[in-house]
Amino acid sequence: MSMRTMADHLLDIAQNAINAGATSVRLTVEETSRTFRFLVIDNGKGMDPATVERVFDPFYTTREKKIRRFGLGLPFLREAARMTGGDVRLQSEKGKGTEIEVLFRTDHIDCQPVGDLGSVWFSLLSYSPDIRWHILRRYGEEEYEIDSVVFTQMTRSSEDFYAPAFLQLMKESLQELEESIREKG
């Protein structure tokens, strides 16, 4: 089994929402001293019950150009979560959207590291600025929220949105946000 961080898994799930054509995605990431939980709600195309049945089968994918590593996102995620005594819950409705909740028990010896969540926010906001991302991050008693509408209004008015120096600054500020609650939490 791969040594993927929880941030890698979260990015995978958010990527599924992008692939499903979502225009709005809500990410909630809650961490306590013993658990790491995330909830991803998208308004993408959703799935019919027959598809929902199959999504945890390794290599099941509806992506067009099937390459070898397609179809492993959800099975690997569930395997990783269950290895810690956690689990994955998935609910979906065709034409409406999908909701995925994941629990990892971080006090379990097989739990992977959390990874770089600031970089995940950066990848999502910079790659898909037209999607409305709503991120709620809780760490112990601390929390922050990112609403991409506020964020991109601030930043996209700048012609330099895709300039390397601008992207670098954006990445650093998102990582600082994450570091600041980890220090206090």
| Min CB(16)–ligand ADP separation in Å | 3
Q: Does 63 bind ligand ADP (CB under 6 A)?
A: yes
Candidates 6, 38, 44, 114; binder of ligand ADP (CB under 6 A) is 44
Q: Does 128 bind ligand ADP (CB under 6 A)?
A: no
- CA–CA separation, 56 and 126 (whole Å): 29
With CB under 6 A as the rule, give the number of residues binding ligand ADP.
20
Angle ∠(67,72,78) on CA atoms, nearest 5: 175
Q: Does 166 bind ligand ADP (CB under 6 A)?
A: no
Q: Does 62 bind ligand ADP (CB under 6 A)?
A: yes
Helix, strand, coil shares, percent, the chain, to 5: 40, 25, 35
107-110 long-range contacts (CB < 8 A, ≥24 apart) are 107/33, 107/34, 108/83, 108/84, 110/83, 110/84
Q: Does 55 bind ligand ADP (CB under 6 A)?
A: yes
Contact between 96 and 28 (Cβ < 8 Å): no
Candidates 73, 86, 97, 118; binder of Mg ion (CB under 5 A) is 73
Residues 6+ apart with CB under 8 A from 44: 17, 19, 20, 21, 22, 97, 98
Q: Does 61 bind Mg ion (CB under 5 A)?
A: no
Map the footprint of ligand ADP across residues 81-100, applying CB under 6 A: 98
Q: Does 42 bind ligand ADP (CB under 6 A)?
A: yes
The residues that touch ligand ADP, with contacts defined as CB under 6 A, are 16-17, 20, 42, 44-47, 51, 55, 60-63, 70-74, 98
